[in-house]
């Protein structure tokens, strides 16, 4: 009598774990060039570290204090919430960079002047004057 045949185990391919992103989409210009740097050497009285958020396309730049446990994704989330609420102070470092908000304001101003010009012209075109 022979012994049982040995079963071979299938070798499973090990995939590397997913990494959290480090480059994000800029809420100002829409480019995927927003980077977050955590400076763990600079700490304030509360033990928070300095995070620098900057866009390579439009030049958006801001600094904020975040807890030490935060990663780049957490800082981006906090920055995005504050940016959309309008409660964060930021700078545009590149001069002459057209941002989506600047373009939107220009379009709104242009459409407003066009609408006002049409309204003023309506009264004199269609009616007879006596």
Predicted structure pTM score:
0.61
Q: What class does CATH assign to 23-94?
A: mainly beta
pLDDT tens sequence for the chain (130 residues): 677 777 777 777 888 888 888 899 999 999 999 999 999 999 999 999 999 999 999 999 999 999 999 999 999 999 999 999 999 888 888 765 555 555 556 556 666 665 555 555 555 555 555 4
Residue 91 CB burial class (10 angstroms; 0-12, 13-18, ≥19): exposed
Nearest-5° angle of CA 109, CA 81, CA 84? Answer: 5
| Residue extents of the structural domains in the chain | 23-94
């Amino acid at each position: 009598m022979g012994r049982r045949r040995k079963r071979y185990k299938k070798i499973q391919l090990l995939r590397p774990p997913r990494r959290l992103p480090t480059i994000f989409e800029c809420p100002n210009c829409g480019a995927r060039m927003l980077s977050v740097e955590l400076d763990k050497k600079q700490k304030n009285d509360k033990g928070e570290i300095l995070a620098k958020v900057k866009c390579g396309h439009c030049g958006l730049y801001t600094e904020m204090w975040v807890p030490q446990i935060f990663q780049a994704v957490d800082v981006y989330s906090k920055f995005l919430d504050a940016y959309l609420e309008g409660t964060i102070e930021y700078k545009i470092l590149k001069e002459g960079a057209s941002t989506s908000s600047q373009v939107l304001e220009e379009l709104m101003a242009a459409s407003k002047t066009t609408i006002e010009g049409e309204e003023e012209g309506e009264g004199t075109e269609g009616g007879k004057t006596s």
